[in-house]
């Protein structure tokens, strides 16, 4: 959702984005959203034996914290200033900033002893697609849904974290 919101802002700043610009933004965000959970997964796997008794709490806390932060940002009404640049420095910083939460998701996946390859590829592909669409949509319709999308994403992350916790506690 962060990458989508930033893509919309990029589209607004570009006014009439080229196909190249749309693909560049989608690739930056999609690749980083695939790489970061993979890195998080291997970091989490290395620490698993030390935290396996608390893994469900770790997953819940990480996802809830990220989700609450997304909701807070969505409700704040503050719009991040984004220019139309698609240069390496600009896109690298934006890709890292919008994918930090994916690192935590990767750590959470390690706690569930799930493979990371398929989720990482799906996350990357979906992020590529919605980021490309976001650039085009941003240039066409503006930021009308930006904060609502971020709030929805936050709620979904909290729901996933809650499900993991409730399953491990035996309630589901």
DSSP 87: -
- The whole-angstrom separation of Cα 106 and Cα 34 is 10
- pTM of the predicted structure, to 2 decimals: 0.69
Residue-wise pLDDT tens digits, 78-137: 655 556 788 898 899 888 888 877 887 888 788 777 788 998 999 999 999 999 999 998
Q: What pLDDT score does 143 carry?
A: 47
| Residue in this structure with the two tokens 């949509």, named with its chain if needed | 137
- The whole-angstrom separation of Cα 39 and Cα 7 is 23
Q: What pLDDT score does 171 carry?
A: 92
Residue-wise pLDDT tens digits, 125-142: 999 999 999 999 887 765
Residue-wise pLDDT tens digits, 34-68: 999 999 899 888 876 776 677 678 778 877 887 78
- The whole-angstrom separation of Cα 67 and Cα 97 is 15
The full DSSP string for 94-149 is: HHHHHHHHHHHHHHHHHHTT--SHHHHHHHHHHHHHHHHHHHHHHHHH-STTHHHH
Residue 25 has pLDDT above 50, yes or no: yes
The full DSSP string for 39-81 is: HHHHHHHHHHHHHGGGHHHHHHHHHHHHHHHHHHHHHH-PPPP
The two structure tokens encoding residue 3:
């990458």
Residue 24 has pLDDT above 90, yes or no: yes
């Amino acid at each position: 959702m962060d990458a989508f919101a930033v893509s919309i802002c990029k589209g607004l700043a570009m006014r009439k984005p080229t196909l190249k610009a749309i693909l560049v933004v989608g690739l930056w965000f999609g690749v980083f959203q695939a790489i970061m959970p993979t890195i998080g997964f291997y970091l989490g796997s290395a620490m698993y034996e030390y935290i396996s008794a608390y893994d469900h709490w770790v997953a819940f806390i990480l996802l809830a914290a990220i989700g609450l932060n997304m909701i807070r940002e969505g409700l704040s009404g503050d719009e991040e200033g984004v220019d139309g640049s698609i240069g390496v420095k600009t896109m690298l910083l934006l890709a890292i900033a919008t994918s930090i939460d994916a690192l935590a998701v990767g750590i959470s996946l390690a706690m569930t002893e799930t493979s990371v390859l398929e989720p990482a590829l799906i996350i990357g592909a979906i992020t590529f697609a919605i980021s490309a669409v976001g650039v085009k949509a941003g240039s066409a319709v503006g930021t009308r849904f930006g904060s609502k999308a971020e709030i929805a994403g936050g709620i979904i992350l909290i729901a996933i974290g809650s499900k993991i916790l409730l399953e491990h506690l035996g309630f589901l």
